[in-house]
Structure formats: C-alpha cells, structure tokens
Structure 1
Amino acid sequence: KVLTPYKVVLELCQYIYTNFNYIKGITHVHSTLDDIWGLKGGVCQDFTNIMLQITRMLGIPARYVSGYICPNNEFTRGEGATHAWIEAYLPNYGWLGIDPTNNAIANENHVALAVGRNYNDCSPVKGVYKGNVKDVLTVNVTVSTSKNSILNPVTLSNTLEIPEEINSYRQNLEIIQQHQQQQQQ
C-alpha cells in the first residue's frame, strides 16, 4: 500500500505513542536514539527525537519544536512542564505539528516557543548572562485556556542556581541539564 506523507507521519506518531512508555527520569538531554529505542520509553523530547529522525529518514522534512502544552482533558502527557513535538513539511499543506507524546496533531493547546533542527537549536534555557558571579534565575510561565474555560491555569516555576566561576558555554550546558532533570521529575 502506498501512503501519503500525511498518513506516514500519522502512523509513525501512533506507533511511537503505542510502543514507547512515558517515563520521567530514565533519559536525559544526552540520551542517544539507541538508548531511547532500547528503553522504549522516555519523555516528550525523546519521543520527538525518535519521530524527527525516522521522519527525515523517510524523506519528509521535519523540525523540532519546543514550547508548552495547555492543560486540558485531551492531553495528559507533558502538561505542566516544557513540551516538545515535531513539525513535518507536507506537500500541498506546509508545516504540520505532530505530537508523538500524545498521539495528536498539534493545535491551539500547543504553544510553540522555538523551532529548530533539534533540541540544541531550541532548548528552553539558552543565552548569555551578564551580572554577578553567583546569582539565581527564576522563570515563571502561566499556561491557560480562554477566560471562559472551566480549567485552572497551570503555573510553572523553575529556579536555577548559577554556579561560580564557570564559563558561559559550560554554564549553558549545566543549566540545560538541570532544567531537563527538573522536567523529568
């Protein structure tokens, strides 16, 4: 049977959702595709990386998206933390968001913050800090639906300690790892 690119990405999304378990803490930002495939589990970044690579291997252009997912009755995985999914480029349509963590087409509940080739292009904490040698960075994000919604908004709060005497590259790596550990808890 011949599948359209649209059907291919939907079937791949279904396969990952069905065959991979959502388990926090078993992977980290440096987990390889082989690690994730062997574990058959992980979190949204892992499911996104698997889908991203297979989609590209099948000749369908794809990119990594990071952001948040609004709390609702439809999506239970990835809610209340940063989230990741892919966008696949489909002929005669354009970029379509696909969320393998929830087996869904990305919709208004998916709030994209960054798009790139992979996680490194759009990590949630990235940049250059100028200030005191030792400081604290606190980030608060409130994600909610419209004012008429019966759902309560979710507020995310992360406090990251910035260690002394670390160069900015190493500091960025440590902040990313610390954020991933917080996300997986």
Structure 2
Amino acid sequence: TALAENHPNLLASRHQLAGAYLADEKAIVILKKVVEMYETLPEDHPGRLALQHVLACVNLRDGEPERAVAILEVVVRNAEALPEDRLNRLVSQDELARAYLNAGQVKKAVAMLEDVVRIRKAQPEDDMNRLSSQHYLACAYLAENVVEMMAKVVQKGPRRLVS
C-alpha cells in the first residue's frame, strides 16, 4: 500500500533522498516538496526546522544567500526557545551568519557570530564547532574592515587611486 503524502516515514525518506542529491539540482525540487509537506507541522517542530536548515544550506551553496537568509531567520527565531548553548541553535546561528556574510549584511553577521563565539567559549579550545565559529567571525571582521577601507578610498576620490 502507498503511504500518505504527509506520512512521517515518507517525509523522512524524501529528506534522506534530498540529502543524497545535494550535489544535484534534484535536491532543491525534492526539498521544496518535503518542506511544503512539513508546513502542516508547527513552525517550531524539530523536523521542520531541520529540513528548512538543509534547504537554506542548499540555497547558500547555490549562490542564493537572500533566500537562505529568509529561511534561516525563521529557523533561528524558532530556535530561540532552546537553551543558548544548544548545538542545533548554535549551528543555525552560524549558518545564518554565513548567509548574512554572503548577502553582504556584514554587521548582522558580526553581531551574531560574536554572540555565538561568546557562548562557545565554554567548549574545549580544539572543538571543531568552536573553531568554525571563530573562523567565520574572523572572516566577518575581515569583510567589515574591507568595506570600511573601500568606503574611505571612494570618499577620497578616484584621483588618489592613480597617483
């Protein structure tokens, strides 16, 4: 017998299949369909949030950071009900900050990553998640400084660039 379109086992299987297809365009089509089915669940349902997180990562990978930001902002807002040091919450915040960076929203990325790095100081110094957050924060600081330096160059005028 066929399973109902919103049967948990069918949804889980499609989620797994989409993960296997991540290197392929088919992933987004499958993920979007599964997300639509999960939309019948509460916004803060862990399965729905996990799937939205994966869809946002695919959008980010495919060069669509604005879509990733829109999705991850919902995920992070719902994750705020979790303890601040909960791994799911921190991973989603990391990913949202990375999406902010890719979308050119550097100040938002810096603010979020500073908070995540502060929370992750409780983890061992060699913890991969802690190191990853620190890496992204360093990238955000670099991007922030580049933007500030370019603004100064433009402000001083193009004549200065050729001298």
Same fold (TM > 0.5): no
Q: With CA pairs under 8 Å and 6+ residues apart, which has the higher RCO, 1 or 2? A: 1
TM-score w.r.t. length of structure 2: 0.37
Tell me which protein shows more strand as a share of its residues. 1
Give the TM-score taking structure 1 as reference length. Answer: 0.34
Choose between structure 1 and 2: higher helix proportion.
Answer: 2
